């Protein structure tokens, strides 16, 4: 990976009309100290009401918004352009449930820095946001495919998000144990019940999982990070891609 931006400190505003999706993205970002959610809006009106009363120093560096429910391509482009005029160095990332070529083109034309399908980015959203700091436009695999012609027409260099980092020794059972206890925050006993194993066994899985994650990741994380934080960041990081084009480094807050 070109840069992990371990010391990044990005203020993030979330906009999603789906309450459960909003809470899920918020929980994933909360685990990663590089991203700090400052507001969760459930409508465009709510978002603008918050922005207009927020002091300049507290305005977000990043807005992650649900592109599917912005009223169509024309309104999406208008809202994005207005956002970027209101906060000149703002980075806007679009999330979507469906791959709509018109919405993708509208977002790219309006200066968004990424368009990601929710079911492709999943719990890797924090790494995706940080990844976008280095590139003009990021996309998940399906978006890269359906938006190829639009990106060429708009002369936008698009980088597809890499796959998640691989840990060859991490079995599915160990991964499940870590995801339940770390990602979902389940108490060990509840996670053990969920998996149908003993408390002793799940604790052994977690210990072994931490060892494997550390063995395959040479990233230097802050000393004051808890084992859970490090495990989450390692589990949700991307595979390194040395062959990616050099970053254009657009200006962004944070």
With a cut of 80, say whether residue 251 has pLDDT above it: no
User: Residue 113 domain-assigned?
Assistant: yes
Among the three residues 130, 160, 190, which one is the final residue of a domain in this structure?
160
One domain for residues 132 and 224: no
Structure confidence at residue 244 (pLDDT): 45
Confidence of residue 245 (pLDDT cuts 50, 70, 90): very low
For 172-195, what is the mean pLDDT?
92
One domain for residues 144 and 221: no
Structure confidence at residue 131 (pLDDT): 94
CA 97 – CA 68 distance, rounded (Å): 7
One domain for residues 75 and 192: no
With a cut of 90, say whether residue 94 has pLDDT above it: yes
Sheet strand arrangement including 158-160: 35-41, 10-15, 62-66, 91-96, 114-117, 137-139, 158-160
Query: Which of 234, 3, 4, 28 is CA-nearest to residue 126?
Result: 28
One domain for residues 19 and 141: yes
With a cut of 90, say whether residue 66 has pLDDT above it: yes
With a cut of 50, say whether residue 2 has pLDDT above it: no
With a cut of 50, say whether residue 197 has pLDDT above it: yes
Q: What tens digit of pLDDT does each residue of 142-171 get?
A: 999 999 999 999 999 999 999 999 898 999
Higher-pLDDT residue of 113, 218: 113
CA 196 – CA 191 distance, rounded (Å): 8
Domain count within the chain:
2
Contact by Cβ (8 Å): 8, 60: no
Among the three residues 132, 160, 188, which one is the final residue of a domain in this structure?
160
Structure confidence at residue 254 (pLDDT): 39
One domain for residues 77 and 114: yes
Domain housing 135: 10-160
Structure confidence at residue 246 (pLDDT): 46
One domain for residues 95 and 143: yes
Confidence of residue 201 (pLDDT cuts 50, 70, 90): very high
User: Residue 196 domain-assigned?
Assistant: yes
Structure confidence at residue 37 (pLDDT): 97
User: Residue 219 domain-assigned?
Assistant: yes
Confidence of residue 241 (pLDDT cuts 50, 70, 90): low
Instruction: Supply the CATH number for residue 151's domain.
Output: 3.40.50.2300
Tokens of 109: 């034309």
Structure confidence at residue 210 (pLDDT): 93
In Å, what is the CA distance from 250 to each residue of 50, 113, 133, 216, 247? Answer: 26, 9, 7, 31, 8
One domain for residues 60 and 177: no
How many residues are recorded in the chain?
254
One domain for residues 207 and 90: no
One domain for residues 206 and 151: no
With a cut of 90, say whether residue 221 has pLDDT above it: no
Structure confidence at residue 250 (pLDDT): 54
Among the three residues 160, 191, 206, which one is the final residue of a domain in this structure?
160
One domain for residues 18 and 124: yes
What is this structure's pTM? 0.87
Instruction: Determine how many CB atoms are found less than 10 A away from the CB of residue 19.
Output: 10
With a cut of 70, say whether residue 253 has pLDDT above it: no
One domain for residues 178 and 116: no
CA 223 – CA 86 distance, rounded (Å): 37
One domain for residues 185 and 137: no
User: Residue 248 domain-assigned?
Assistant: no
Structure confidence at residue 7 (pLDDT): 82
With a cut of 60, say whether residue 249 has pLDDT above it: no
The torsion region of residue 46 among left (phi > 0), alpha (psi -120 to 50) and beta comes to: alpha
User: Residue 167 domain-assigned?
Assistant: no
User: Residue 73 domain-assigned?
Assistant: yes
For 169-187, what is the mean pLDDT?
91
Confidence of residue 242 (pLDDT cuts 50, 70, 90): low
**Mean pLDDT for the chain overall:** 91
With a cut of 60, say whether residue 96 has pLDDT above it: yes
């Amino acid at each position: 990976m070109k840069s992990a931006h371990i010391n990044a400190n990005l203020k993030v505003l979330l906009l999603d009309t789906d309450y459960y999706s909003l809470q899920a993205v918020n929980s994933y970002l909360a685990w990663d100290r590089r991203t700090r959610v400052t507001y969760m809006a459930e409508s465009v009106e709510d978002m603008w009401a918050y922005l207009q009363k927020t002091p300049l120093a507290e305005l977000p560096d990043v807005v992650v918004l649900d592109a599917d429910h912005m009223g169509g391509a024309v309104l999406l482009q208008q809202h994005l352009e207005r956002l970027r005029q209101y906060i000149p160095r703002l980075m806007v990332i679009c999330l979507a449930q469906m791959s709509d070529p018109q919405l993708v083109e509208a977002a790219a034309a309006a200066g968004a820095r990424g368009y990601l399908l929710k079911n492709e980015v999943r719990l890797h959203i924090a790494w995706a946001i940080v990844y976008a700091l280095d590139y003009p436009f990021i996309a998940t695999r399906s978006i890269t495919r359906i938006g190829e012609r639009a990106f060429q027409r708009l002369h936008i260099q698009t980088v597809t998000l890499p796959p998640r980092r691989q840990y060859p020794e991490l079995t599915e059972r160990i991964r499940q144990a870590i995801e339940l206890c770390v990602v979902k925050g389940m108490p060990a006993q509840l996670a053990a019940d969920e998996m149908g194993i003993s408390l002793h066994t799940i604790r052994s899985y977690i210990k072994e999982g931490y060892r494997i994650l550390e063995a395959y990741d040479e990233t230097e994380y802050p000393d004051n990070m808890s084992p859970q934080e490090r495990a989450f960041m390692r589990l949700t990081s991307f595979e390194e891609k040395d062959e990616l084009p050099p970053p254009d480094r657009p200006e962004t807050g944070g």
